[in-house]
A and B are shown apart, each in its own frame.
Chain A
Amino acid sequence: MKFLVCISNVPDTTTKITFTPDNKEFNKAGVQFVINPWDEYALTRAIELKEANPGSTVTVLNVGEADTEPNIRKALAIGADDAIRVNAAPKDAFFVAEQIAAVAKDGGYDVMLMGKESIDYNGFQVHGMVGELLGIPTIAPAMKLDMSGNTATLEREIEGGKEIVQVTTPFVVSCQQPMCEPRIPNMRGIMTARTKPLKVVPPTADAPRTQVQAYALPPKKQGVKLIDAENAGELIKLLRNEAKVI
């Protein structure tokens, strides 16, 4: 079984978000970048399935410039076998999906795993676009993925419940909790990751379909209005008469 795991490089979850003075770009200065938390579910599940199916391989794919390599190495340290980096700044979801599809087209991957969305642009788009570009099913968002031969059984979250879906390879799956417990690299993994192959390929030339014009921070909160615990019922009156939400 050949697994392809797509990872994105995102600001650490605790980052304070700021923008360049013209508000056109995210201000990367001093920011620590991590593997997108949703992608960690995809990566760990792929490695678990590889371990359960001897002879399988896990390839990690990232669309990004050279500064993403520490996180690609981290994915290799967690247990992926090799990696591909498409050397381009990710412009928008469609651009990224096109790069992934171009790599996957001749790669013979059975299962392509990725996270539900990236925690920076919150697109929730790339997996569906890749599935459509390749003409294969996408199951999104999935909470469970089991494989038996080339048949997969998945649980897909729907509002208020779940669907049990069965598909045969190849397919794309976007992963979310509680698919697995994401792994962290151990010492041996970190040592071997250094020598694992990381191939850099050029992007295909297509243009993005969306452009960010400006970023903005949400308006500052007014500050909390405290109500005495003894007199808690007062809060309900405020919610009705002042905030008008109940």
Chain B
Amino acid sequence: MSVLVVVECDKGEVKKSSLEVATYGAQLAAQLGTTATAIAVGEATEANLAQLGEQGIAKVLYDKEPRLKDFVNNAYTKLIATAAQQEDAKVIVLANSNIGAAVGSRLSVRLQASLATNVVELPHTEGGQFVVKRGAFSGKAFSDVVLSGERKIIAVKKNSLEAKHEAGQTATVADFSAQLTDADFADAPKQVVMQDQAGGVLLPEAALVVSGGRGMKGPENWNLIEDLAKALGAATACSKPVSDVDWRPHHEHVGQTGITVSPNLYIACGISGAIQHLAGVNSSKVIVVINKDPEAPFFKAADYGIVGDVFEVLPKLTAAVKALN
């Protein structure tokens, strides 16, 4: 009986959301009186995997099969299921990412496990029950869900808990093989195309986000958003109409029909705060709104606000951040 943590790696680095998941898994294992083992997917280096000890992971399993570098649903599912069986894992923890959700749902059928996605806290395990708290209704509510199966799979929402870094702790990295065959790679991608990320920060992983709406007036003004994002080390985002008219690429569109983000800080510039936009951002820890209309609905959801013109306010904010650093 153990906790198995699925760790996603990209270009040799463990993703930030996976450091959070590793922390979650280690804390859950301590709560259950057992240890946490990780299975790594994606392009990893042994040195980086060993560092998962800092999050409390004892052992990392790593299959060096080169075709696992890119996401392949069938192969990843088989890999993780094999690891879960070998480790007799009763709980599997993964990130609520595109990979985590896609694999988690297949795994739950294969392992006959109860699955909860979008989980925001450690489970309550008193009295033999296993109850997780998850986001529901597009961030407008939470639900406590009882996972009744003998096996459980938990997909942890990004930025729900801070990754622990206990310097000096290392994990053992162990070779692992799920004996994958060509058939397991039948749905392998033909091509992987990475997009340019402004400032190099991935939006779905970002702790800080600067976002622009129709109030930015046109793509030629986005340097104001980018300058502030760069100074903060933040990712950039936008509202739906902005991506609909191609001022910004679709992968920056947040909201109910776009990406859901839950950063520590979300700065909304020239965005009205329609309910569909809020649905994608309202679980951000701190929301800042800059809008020239004091009646803009976004102010109701905000922690800090400036009633003013983005073209005047944004350069002042950027200058203030630069002055801090």
- Give the B-binding residues of A (Cβ under 8 A): 11, 13-14, 17, 19, 26, 37-38, 93-94, 97, 119-129, 131-133, 137-141, 143, 156-167, 176-178, 209-218, 221-222, 224-229, 232-240, 243, 245-246
Contact = CB atoms under 8 A, between A and B. Distances in A.
Consensus secondary structure, chain B interface: mixed
A211 B143 CA distance: 10
B193 A215 contact: no
7 contacts: A97-B109, A119-B138, A128-B109, A138-B73, A162-B195, A218-B141, A235-B320
Contacts of A14: 275-276
Given A13-B256, A132-B109, 12 more contacts: A119-B256, A140-B102, A177-B250, A210-B147, A215-B136, A217-B141, A229-B306, A229-B308, A229-B313, A234-B320, A243-B265, A245-B285
A131 B324 contact: no
A214 B101 CA distance: 23
Given A215-B143, A245-B265, A164 B189 contact: yes
Contacts of B102: 128, 138, 140
B109 to A, nearest CB: 4
A210 B114 contact: yes
B251 to A, nearest CB: 7
Contacts of B317: 232-233, 235-236
A27 B232 CA distance: 42
Contact of B186 (A19, A137, A160): A137
A11 B288 CA distance: 28
Contact of B104 (A128, A178, A218, A233): A128
A159 B146 contact: no
B144 A216 contact: yes
Contacts of B217: none
Interface stretch (B27-35, B51-59, B296-304): B296-304
Nearest to A165: B189
Closest 7 CB pairs of A and B: A128-B105, A229-B308, A233-B320, A163-B189, A161-B194, A132-B109, A236-B320
Contacts of A222: 303
B167 to A, nearest CB: 22
Interface of B: 10, 15, 70-71, 73-74, 77, 96-99, 101-106, 108-110, 113-118, 131, 134-149, 186-195, 197, 202, 204-205, 208, 232, 243, 250-251, 253, 256-258, 264-265, 275-276, 279, 282-283, 285-286, 288-289, 299-309, 312-313, 316-317, 319-321, 323-324
Given A177-B258, A210-B115, A211-B145, A128 B312 contact: no
B141 A216 contact: yes
A148 to B, nearest CB: 14
B187 A165 contact: yes
B303 A221 contact: yes
B109 A129 contact: yes
A124 to B, nearest CB: 4
A37 B257 contact: yes
A237 B106 contact: no
B192 A212 contact: no
Contacts of B283: 218
B260 to A, nearest CB: 8
B264 A211 contact: no
A224 B316 contact: no
A121 B138 CA distance: 8
B235 to A, nearest CB: 10
A176 B71 contact: no
A36 to B, nearest CB: 11
A164 B120 CA distance: 31
A159 B205 contact: yes
Given A164-B193, A233-B320, A214 B136 contact: no
A143 B250 contact: yes
B306 A227 contact: yes
Scoring B15, B108, B317 by chain A CB atoms within 10 A of each residue's CB, the highest score goes to: B108
A237 B320 CA distance: 8
Given A119-B256, A128-B101, A210 B320 contact: no
Scoring B187, B208, B286, B288 by chain A CB atoms within 10 A of each residue's CB, the highest score goes to: B187
Nearest to A212: B143
Contacts of A245: 208, 264-265, 285-286
